[in-house]
Structure 1
Amino acid sequence: MSTATTPEATLLTQFTALDTATVSDALDACGLPPGQGGLRPMWGRPRVAGFAVTVELEPLTDEHTGTGAHIHTDAIAAAGPYDVVVVANGGRTDVSSWGGILSVGASVRSVRGVVTDGACRDVGQARQLGFPVFARAQVPATARGRLRQRATGEPVALGAVTVHPGDVVLADEGGVVVVPRERAPQVLETARRLAEREAAIEADVRAGVPLPRAMRDARLAGTEGTR
């Protein structure tokens, strides 16, 4: 079934038209946690928006022997064309929390991308697939024998932000923002107004209006720019 005209697809298309900086400003305006940096696209300059499918990892210890070989599989099996996989790994960059086979599995299910609070590997394979991967670093060390899946489909920490399943996740070269699903329409409308106002300020400046005047006019109108 086509996803082009569903309400969910429309919402995600509208978020994808915005950048993370603008949505972060909207989150601020709505009293919600802003976006965060340090989670970079590992290839190219993709921009993806999707609903969070969550995975939490933890170190594999002796008591977990034999339980770490199939991390992420439940999450990938549950994800689909509207979704972004969010992997919580506490920011660890000494071991990969996402790799090439996972990119293949997610790509086959038309998942929109992955954001992992940790490191990844096999970036060339993800690039060939056209599968967006956002991570804190690249590292060749495998998760096998080092990590296990602690939970899936539960709230997880992505840096300083808690991500709930179904939250809107927008990621681009500027960072990552997480929008609580129930607040998504409000944040979207606020972000679109901010984008329109900043576009107007930019147009004035390009037309020769001095920047202080353009910014002052925005303040007088209650629409101060944020760049």
Structure 2
Amino acid sequence: MNDTSLLDAFADLDSAAVSDALDGLGKPSGIGGIIPVTGVSKIVGFAVTVELEPYTPGPSGPHIGSTAVASAGGNDVIVVANNGRTDVSCWGGLLSLGASLRGVRGTIADGCCRDLGEARELGYPVFSRGGIPATARGRLQQKSTGMPVEIAGVWVAPGDIVLADETGTVFVPREHAAEILAKAQAITARERSIAQDLRNGIALPDTMHDARLAGSEGK
């Protein structure tokens, strides 16, 4: 399966099914609190990572996020690790414009962002912990890009698969993508079957029982 086909297959799933698959394989499950803030309710792509840290006076480095934007492409999602801070913006309108022009699929920010109206006008997806106008200048600096980062207790490596929707965000280790995809697809098929049984008039306790939800019927 090529990269685009892999992302297309994950795009047919939701964060809950992928989180259940991660659980079933002993991987960190999905996280909540990072929500769509620019009108696009779902994104899927490969992680391009950037980590921020509190500003310390000294020689200025690259503008936060700029190196990640410059290295990202049409199959990527930029993942900004900002330790969940909500008192300062870690992503803004010029970054959204730059990423949009490169065809980037969206941004996941473990923190707050600004210029959300600009991103919405661009049709550029931003998922974050909310909005705030406070600038990062003098408050944040870039610590690294293209390195593993921690988002709400979950480690994310460059190239991992990111899926975010209105329910939450999941990070799929690239080396386990095929296994997690197959398990999530089975979970989705099972839940759709249960939903159809409910629509056909089968009583909720008869169709929605733990053994069936776990896929262990007849075992």
**How far apart, CA to CA, are the structure 2 residues paired with 1:107 and 1:124?**
14
**How far apart, CA to CA, are the structure 2 residues paired with 1:193 and 1:104?**
38
**How far apart, CA to CA, are the structure 1 residues paired with 2:83 and 2:208?**
40
Residue of structure 2 equivalent to 1:127 = 120
RMSD of aligned alpha carbons: 1.7
**How far apart, CA to CA, are the structure 1 residues paired with 2:172 and 2:214?**
24
Residue of structure 2 equivalent to 1:96 = 89
Does 2:11 correspond to 1:12? no
**How far apart, CA to CA, are the structure 1 residues paired with 2:137 and 2:40?**
29
Whether the aligned pair in 1 keeps the contact of 2:190 and 2:213 (CA below 8 Å) is no
Does 2:218 correspond to 1:223? no
**How far apart, CA to CA, are the structure 2 residues paired with 1:161 and 1:224?**
29
Does 2:187 correspond to 1:194? yes
**How far apart, CA to CA, are the structure 1 residues paired with 2:45 and 2:187?**
21
**How far apart, CA to CA, are the structure 2 residues paired with 1:150 and 1:43?**
26
Deviation at 1:43, TM superposition (A): 2.4
Deviations 1:205-225 (A, max 9, x none): 111000111124x72696269
Residue 3 of structure 2 aligns to a residue whose secondary structure is helix
Deviations 1:139-169 (A, max 9, x none): 0001112111000000001111000000000
**How far apart, CA to CA, are the structure 2 residues paired with 1:70 and 1:20?**
31
Residue of structure 2 equivalent to 1:145 = 138
**How far apart, CA to CA, are the structure 2 residues paired with 1:40 and 1:222?**
28
Q: Which runs of 5+ in 2 are unaligned?
A: none
**How far apart, CA to CA, are the structure 1 residues paired with 2:105 and 2:213?**
38
Residue of structure 1 equivalent to 2:71 = 78
**How far apart, CA to CA, are the structure 2 residues paired with 1:224 and 1:135?**
37
**How far apart, CA to CA, are the structure 2 residues paired with 1:224 and 1:199?**
16
Residue of structure 2 equivalent to 1:66 = 60
Residue 24 of structure 1 aligns to a residue whose secondary structure is helix
Residue of structure 2 equivalent to 1:3 = none
Q: Which runs of 4+ in 1 moved over 4 A?
A: none
Change (3 A) 1:220 1:46: closer
When normalised by structure 1's length, the TM-score is 0.91
Change (3 A) 1:27 1:222: closer
Change (3 A) 1:221 1:181: closer
The residue type equivalent to 2:122 in the other structure is L
What is the 5 A alignment of 1:8-47?
A: 8-47=3-42
Change (3 A) 1:40 1:189: same
Whether the aligned pair in 1 keeps the contact of 2:108 and 2:127 (CA below 8 Å) is yes
Change (3 A) 1:61 1:80: same
When normalised by structure 2's length, the TM-score is 0.95
Deviations 1:30-89 (A, max 9, x none): 110000000000022421110000000011112x3533x611111111100010000000
Whether the aligned pair in 2 keeps the contact of 1:45 and 1:173 (CA below 8 Å) is no
With 141-150 and 42-51 compared, the bigger mean Cα shift is at: 42-51
Residue 41 of structure 2 aligns to a residue whose secondary structure is coil
The residue type equivalent to 1:66 in the other structure is S
